[in-house]
Structure 1
Amino acid sequence: MPQDMPPMGGYEPVQYRRNLPVRGFRPATYLFAIAGVMTYGFYRMGQGIREQNELAREKMWSRIHLIPMLQAEEDRDQVRRYYSQQAMEKELLGAETKAYNSDRFVRPTYAVTPSHVTK
């Protein structure tokens, strides 16, 4: 009995890969697109941080410029309270009493003193 031999020209190659169509872009395209989006995002974030810093600086300077007006308001309030207290004192006691040697208005100072705890 004769031996089986391969056909002339050999066998056809065995198809072990699937022939699927390529879907989407190449991976490098996705990489560049994501890098572009991230670059734009970091750029916008930097602009936002710069704007926040500018707004904070503007807020600080506006508060600095308001300090003299607020101080004047506080001074007027202190003087008003002083005169109303003097009027109430005169009404209750019938005469003005002086606790100090001077008539000059001195703003009260409130000092925080630590409490001494004895053990």
Structure 2
Amino acid sequence: MPQDLPPQGGYEAVQYRRNIPTRGLRPVWYLVGMLGVMTYGWRQVFLGQREKTEMAREKMWARIHLTPLLQAEEDRDQVRRYYADLKREKELLGSQSGPYNSERFVRPTYAATPARTVE
């Protein structure tokens, strides 16, 4: 019986690798893109911090410049309240000048202290 022999010129090469076409960009371009995005983000963080610092400085100077005005308003309010209290007290007590103008109030007496001698 004759033996099977390969065909004339041999068999075709066996394709053992998958020939899949590459899709997308090369990995280095993804790295460049991420680096660009991160650079932009850090720049925005830096500018935001600078603006935050500037706003805090502006707020501090505004408070410094407004302090005398606010203090004057507070002083005016205290004076107004003081005179309103005096008026209310005069209406309540009449001719008496204060709450200690009565016989019930006893003025404190102070003990005499010996004179100090200087040597």
Check if 1:41 corresponds to 2:38. no
The residue aligned with 2:69 is 69
Q: Normalization by structure 1: what TM-score?
A: 0.71
Once residues 68 and 9 of structure 1 are traced to their aligned partners in structure 2, the CA distance between those partners, rounded to angstroms, is 106
What residue is the counterpart of 1:22 in the other structure?
Answer: 22
User: Percent sequence identity over matched residues?
Assistant: 65
Say which SS state the counterpart of residue 60 (structure 1) adopts. helix
* Distance of 1:45 and 1:26 partners within structure 2: 30
Counterpart Cα distance in 1 of 2:98 and 2:27: 91
For structure 1, the 5+ residue unaligned runs are 100-119
The residue aligned with 2:105 is: none
Structure 1: distance between partners of 2:46 and 2:3: 79
Q: Give distance in 1, aligned partners of 2:9 and 2:48.
A: 71
Unaligned runs of 5+ in 2: 101-119
- Which has the higher Rg, Structure 1 or Structure 2? 2
Higher normalized contact order (CA 8 Å, seq sep 6+, divided by chain length): 1
Q: Deviations over 1:94-114 (max 9, x none)?
A: 132277xxxxxxxxxxxxxxx
Shift >4 Å, 4+ stretches = 1-10
The offset of 1:64, in angstroms, is: 1.6
Secondary structure at the residue paired with 2:76?
helix
Counterpart position of 1:13: 13
Which TM-score applies when normalising by structure 2?
A: 0.71
In angstroms, what is the RMSD of aligned CA positions? 2.0
- Structure 1 position 5, deviation (Å): 4.8
